[in-house]
Structure 1
Amino acid sequence: MDRRPPARPRMSSRRVARHASAVIAILVALAAVWALKPVLLLLFSATLVAIILDGVARKLTKLLHLPHGFALAIGALLIVALIGGISLLFGRELVNQLNQLIGLIPGGWHDLSERVGEQRLNGIAEKLAPSGSSIFSIIQGIVTVVANLLSALLLALLGGIFLATQPRTYRKGIRLVLPQRWEDRADDVLGEIGSTLRAWLRGQLVSMVFVGVGIFTGLMIVGAPSPLALAVIAALLGFVPVIGPLMAAAPGVLVGLTMGGDAIWQVILVYFIVQQIDGNLVNPMVMRHTVKIPPAVTMFSLFAIGAILGSTGLLLGGPITVLVVVLVRELWIKGALGKTLD
């Protein structure tokens, strides 16, 4: 009696070709995404601006009973007017203080070398930056990144206006490229992504304003130079969760070293108090209606995003993390696994 297991049916050549085509298509898509990283990051930034504009338009529609298009135009004009007004009031002073800050950093680095020891400081720099860059160059890079971010905001604003004017058109386009059975689910997921990102951005904006005002006020009280520039850097880097506050404090600490005496501890205390109040009171209060992400998950997610997408991706690491968490929750946990979250 033949006890050999029955032979497994061989894959047809057509099925093998279909599987191979799917794998090749995925690889080509990943290669295209990698090649188009700057464009995709700009598109994501514009999408965030569109979400903000849409949120403002919804508020104006609800309060003033205006048509959505008219409310969107008013909201965009209000935001542009606000940015323009701030630029007129503080733009020249901000540029002067940024130049002053860049000039103060070498002196702060020299003072830090004298206090810690040049060899020890260089050893720390080599451990933190094994590629050969120094902490000093990293801090200069932070200032440069913030300056580039300010110039990129204009492009994101323009792109966001175009996206926000016809959201149904783009949503319909997404539905067209999906199988019909996925269309309703895609609408639900897109709606959840939009509402979650809108809540996250609203809370983050409140947190950034608090940090900027708090740092500026504290540095003014202790008499630190370039308080406006340091406050703007702290507010903008506050957009990056977990590691943003640490990055923002670095130039402030170096500036504090140039003040002499015990001023460095006063500057550190200002950053510590403001960041602690923001992290333990303001941020949890304004973020209670958005997605909850453990700090460790956020930190390692930011490191991964920074390694893949570079410094610009790191600045957008917060909303990208929120996007990924919502997709995993809606498509995998709720959709594929059928589980509910408490």
Structure 2
Amino acid sequence: MQERAQTGEGPTRPGDRTGTGARPLLLAGIGVVCFVVLLALVWHASDTLLLIFAGLLFAVFLDGLTHYLGRVVPLGHGVRLAIVTVLLSALFLGLLGLGGATLSQQAGSLGRTLQQQAGEVSTWLKQRGIDLPLPQSDRDGGKSDGGKSEGGKSGDGRTSSPLGGELPSPGSLLSDAGSVLGRASTIVFGVFGAIGNVFVVIVLGVFVAADPRSYRDGLLRFVPPRHRARAATVADDLGTTLRHWLFGQLVIMAAIFVCVWLGLSLLGLDGALILGLQAGLLCFIPTVGALVAGLVIVLASLASGLKGVIGAVAVYLLVQALESYVLTPFVQKKAIDIPPATIFAGQILLGVLFGLWGIALALPIMAVAKVLLDRLYVEDTLGESAEA
């Protein structure tokens, strides 16, 4: 007691030590619970979050065009954005009016060709012992009488007429109508869903591109003041990286479209325009998109014989070599530098987690993750240069 009095320490209460040790544990538990809840919300709202991310990418595209237009036309940001929006709308409507009929015709012809060639490939493989689980349509046209029951009634409720035909019962009519309406409603809801997604991306992109600095400053208000300057630098780096990557990717997509279109047109393949367009669009998705585009081109070329297949494969390989060894290293040198194996692994992971949206947006998501890791972990935590 005298030693405690001399050192100025009072008697230790049993509750003091317990309260001091329980508070960090309580805070850690609350933090873990909040993190798990946040992960659950992200998981359940992943489609919405990826749709918002696509809208932000479109905002980066519009803001980049507005920024580049400012180097030529000394006008305000709002006026330049309006000019860009009007020009893009006019370009889209013009292409739709001039080439819409051609694209629609070639798309229908290409669809029939692909279906026919896929059936022939399936038959060829089946003859060699490889049976692919492809859906088959009902080819008997309802001519089979094995399902008829006694009394002239078939198994689906239809009755035989004296002329040898089948008269549908009221129940079967309602069933057929319900199935038709079900397929129609599925198509209608699918179309409206796609249009709604495009509308959300466009509106969100235009709103954010109209005043990007206010959204940036609004997010920075949630950062502690001592870290706000560093967070602003990281946010600017994210925007610059996405802008460089996006415009570089658009240049590559346009080059792939033109090269495939011209190459297949010189070979005389039907649907060269739509094949070049799908190859250019699928170029947005690295690795997986190129494989799908190549498969479609090869299937479409089977109708032209062996020479057509060899020519189409040669064109595809030349275009892929041009993209891999010339366009991508030259155009994307200022954007991101991620090894191909890492990109492919990231696509697989995001595809398993988030489906088609994850595969399509894998590369920009990985670009954002790379910038955050370089700036916040490699540079700030480890104290090393991200360029090393």
With structure 1 as the length reference, what TM-score do the two structures score?
A: 0.86
Aligned counterparts of 2:36 and 2:26: Cα–Cα separation in 1: 15
Decide which moves more: 331-340 or 90-99.
Answer: 90-99
CA distance in 2: counterparts of 1:119 and 1:281, whole angstroms: 41
1:208 to 238, 246, 253: 253
Equivalent residue, structure 1, for 2:349: 304
Task: Select the residue among 49, 61, 69 that pairs with 1:60.
Answer: 69
Rg: which structure is higher?
A: 2
Does residue 280 (structure 1) correspond to residue 280 (structure 2)? The answer is no
For 1:73 and 1:237, how far apart are their aligned partners in 2? 29
Q: Is the Cα–Cα contact under 8 Å of residues 237 and 248 in structure 1 kept in the other structure? A: yes
Structure 2 counterpart of 1:23:
32
Which residue of the partner structure matches residue 51 of structure 1? 60
1:81 aligns with 2:90: yes
Contact 1:256 1:267 in 2 (8 A): yes
CA deviation profile, 1:279-301 (whole Å, cap 9, x unmatched): 11122111111121111111111
Tell me what 2:364 maps to.
319
**C-alpha distance in 2 between matches for 1:193 and 1:120:** 52
In the alignment of these two chains, the number of paired residues is 314
For the Cα contact (< 8 Å) 1:111–1:257, is it kept in 2? Answer: no
- 120 and 156 in structure 1: CA distance in 2 versus 1, 3 angstrom threshold: farther
Partner of 1:129: none
**Residue correspondence of structure 1 range 237-256 to structure 2 within 5 A:** 237-256=282-301
Q: 1:160 aligns with which of 205, 216, 225?
A: 205
2:142 alignment counterpart: none
Structure-2 change in CA distance of 1:121 and 1:250 (3 Å):
farther
Distance 1:273 1:115, change over 3 A: farther
Secondary structure of the residue aligned to 2:304 is: coil
Question: Which letter does structure 2 place at the counterpart of 1:212?
Answer: F
Map Cα deviations across residues 40-60 of structure 1 (whole Å, 9 max, x no partner).
Answer: 111111111111111111111
In 2, Cα distance between the equivalents of 1:151 and 1:95?
22
- Structure 2 Cα separation of the partners of residues 151 and 120 of structure 1: 45
Cα pair 1:211 1:274 within 8 Å, conserved? yes
Distance 1:13 1:45 in 2: 44
Does 2:115 match 1:106? Answer: yes
> Offset at 1:106?
2.0
The farther-off stretch of 192-201 and 219-228 is 219-228
Deviation at 1:272, TM superposition (A): 0.9
Which residue is 1:6 aligned to?
none
Alignment of 1:6-17 (within 5 A): 12-17=21-26
Q: Which amino acid aligns with 2:266?
A: I
The verdict on how the C-alpha distance between 1:213 and 1:239 changes in structure 2, with shifts beyond 3 A counting, is same
| Offset at residue 165 of structure 1 (A) | 0.8
How high is the TM-score relative to the length of structure 2?
A: 0.76
Q: Larger deviation: 253-262 or 187-196? A: 253-262
CA RMSD of aligned residues (A): 2.2
The structure that is helix-richer by fraction is 1
Point out the more displaced range, 205-214 or 222-231: 222-231
The match for 1:192 is 237
Tell me the secondary structure at the aligned position of residue 339 of structure 1. Answer: coil
Give the gaps of 5 or more residues in structure 1. Answer: 1-8, 126-131, 135-144
Cα distance in 2 for residues equivalent to 1:15 and 1:35: 30
Letter in 2 for 1:276: A
Alpha-carbon separation, structure 2, partners of 1:291 and 1:313: 18
Counterparts of 1:183 and 1:91, CA distance in 2: 49
Residues 110 and 256 (structure 1), Cα distance of their counterparts in 2 relative to 1, 3 Å cut? same
Task: Pick closer, same or farther for the CA change 1:150–1:261 going to 2, 3 Å.
Answer: farther
Of 181, 196, 219, the residue aligned with 2:226 is 181
Q: Distance in 2 between matches of 1:218 and 1:204?
A: 21
- 5+ residue gaps, structure 2, are 1-16, 136-189
Q: In the alignment, what sits opposite 1:230?
A: 275
CA distance in 1, matches of 2:120, 2:307: 13
Tell me which residue corresponds to 1:5: none
Say if 1:233 and 1:248, in contact at 8 Å, map to a contact too. yes
Partner of 2:145: none
- AA of the residue aligned to 2:110: L
1:189 Cα offset (Å)? 0.8
Secondary structure class of the residue paired with 2:102:
helix
Which residue of 1 is the match for residue 103 of structure 2?
Answer: 94
Q: 1:133 to 1:108 in 2, by over 3 A?
A: closer
Distance 2:47 2:57 in 1: 15
Distance apart, 1:253 and its partner CA: 0.8
